[in-house]
Amino acid sequence: MAITATESDGVSLITDKISYDLVETDVEIITSGRRRIPAHSGVLAAASPVLTNIIEKPRKSHGGSSKRVIKILGVPCDAVSVFIRFLYSPSLTEKEMEGYGIHLLALSHVYMVTHLKQRCTKGVGERVTAENVVDVLQLARLCDAPGLCLKCMRLIHSKFKTVEQTEGWKFLQEHDPFLELDILQFIDDAESRKKRRRRHRREQNLYMQLSEAMECIEHICTEGCTLVGPSSNLDNNKLNTGPCSAFSTCYGLQLLIRHFAVCEKRVDGKGCIRCKRMIQLLRLHSSICDQSESCRVPLCRQFKQRGEKDKKMAEDTKWNVLVRRVASAKAMSSLSQSKKKKSEVLLKEEAEDFIRIRKTKFF
């Protein structure tokens, strides 16, 4: 990038190569390698509020030179050159980001160059590896880059066994135990969240299965299905209804109902595990059902009446929570099924319209 003076603003960007033969430069940037980079105070002040404050301070004479001197130390000379060039023309190549991304992130934070900091945060985050993640994390914390910190934490969590073998982790253990504690706490919290999500998914699957079982019980006792159901739906040992959409659940319930009807232990009053399970399902249906007077599911009305009389049954907190969640799952299932049916109807209508239009064209 060659920078030449113009009548309008004193600066004109011509090429992508840095040229230090600048006209009317009034600032010199000194790097760690004693490289001197001439620049314009107006450009630096416009890009960085920190440089503005430095430029506005009373000037000290340096061997009779009229130029103000600003020292940028602690980073490679080439990184400072790229930083100054970015202040003139906000562009970075992939090679520059690869070589000086970490240094540019530090400079952008110190001199409050927001747009450069955002680009460096993204660029460094895309290039972070298990080998350098600890160093990048420490820099991100110093540079107040929470997004980059979170990305480093997640990478450490996912590749912890590899990270703890690196020199960066060993150095961290010796010199920054508080950061090590924060990392271990993050990993522990992440594992706890993962366990909670798994448990929540298992619970939701259970509620959906119970919701499907409730629908199958109603389906069996009102429409009839395969083995058991109202005798009015039977015609020469065949059913009038079509194939069941939840065959595996429905078939299992049918076997359970048939066992419940003939179990000798239930008749004796002792009961068995399968009968107790069936009673629990019937009780759950009764708790959800809002049409107990006309409901054809066995024992629905009896469980309703018993629940109204039995205070202990009515105050069973766990049971009430189960009822609410199964009812919610049932409502969500019904909603999704209704949407699916509507979409199927619309597709069918569109297909019929398409066929009708084609017939009118060809005939």
Query: Residue 138 is encoded by which pair of tokens?
Result: 């420490």
CA–CA separation, 155 and 128 (whole Å): 9
What pLDDT does residue 67 have?
80
350 belongs to a structural domain: yes
Which of 91, 107, 127 is at the close of a domain?
127
329 belongs to a structural domain: yes
74 belongs to a structural domain: yes
Measured at the CA of 347, the angle between CA 344 and CA 351, to 5 degrees, comes to 140
What pLDDT does residue 11 have?
35
What pLDDT does residue 353 have?
67
16 belongs to a structural domain: no
What pLDDT does residue 182 have?
95
CA–CA separation, 155 and 176 (whole Å): 19
pTM above 0.75, yes or no: no
What pLDDT does residue 270 have?
63
Instruction: Tell whether 219 and 121 lie within a shared domain.
Output: no
What pLDDT does residue 221 have?
82
What pLDDT does residue 274 have?
85
Instruction: Tell whether 219 and 352 lie within a shared domain.
Output: yes
Query: Residue 287 is encoded by which pair of tokens?
Result: 């708790």
Query: Residue 209 is encoded by which pair of tokens?
Result: 């299965």
What pLDDT does residue 281 have?
87
Note whether 288 and 214 are within 8 A (CB). yes
Instruction: Tell whether 327 and 222 lie within a shared domain.
Output: yes
41 belongs to a structural domain: yes
DSSP string, 7-33: TTTS-EE--SS-----SS--EEEE-TT
82 belongs to a structural domain: yes
- Please tell me the total count of domains within the chain: 2
What pLDDT does residue 310 have?
67
Instruction: Tell whether 220 and 104 lie within a shared domain.
Output: no
Instruction: Tell whether 120 and 216 lie within a shared domain.
Output: no
CA–CA separation, 121 and 149 (whole Å): 10
What CATH number corresponds to the domain at position 44? 3.30.710.10
| pLDDT (tens digit per residue) in 91-139 | 899 999 999 999 999 999 999 999 999 999 999 999 999 999 999 999 9
What pLDDT does residue 346 have?
66
Which of 77, 100, 127 is at the close of a domain?
127
| pLDDT (tens digit per residue) in 252-309 | 888 888 888 888 776 555 668 888 888 888 888 888 888 867 788 888 888 877 776 6
Instruction: Tell whether 224 and 336 lie within a shared domain.
Output: yes
Instruction: Tell whether 225 and 330 lie within a shared domain.
Output: yes
Which domain range does residue 116 map to? 23-57+66-127
What pLDDT does residue 165 have?
94
Instruction: Tell whether 351 and 225 lie within a shared domain.
Output: yes
307 belongs to a structural domain: yes
Please tell me what DSSP assigns to residue 261.
H
Count how many Cα atoms sit within 13 Å of the Cα of residue 63 in the half-sphere of its side chain: 1
203 belongs to a structural domain: no
What pLDDT does residue 1 have?
43
Compute CA distances 298 → 122, 217, 260, 279, 286, whole Å. 63, 10, 11, 10, 9
List average pLDDT for each run of 10 residues in the chain, which is 363 residues long.
37 38 75 89 91 84 69 93 92 92 95 94 94 95 94 95 94 93 95 93 87 84 66 45 67 84 69 84 85 80 76 69 83 68 65 67 57
Instruction: Tell whether 352 and 216 lie within a shared domain.
Output: yes
What pLDDT does residue 198 have?
93
What CATH number corresponds to the domain at position 217? 1.20.1020.10
Which of 127, 162, 179 is at the close of a domain?
127
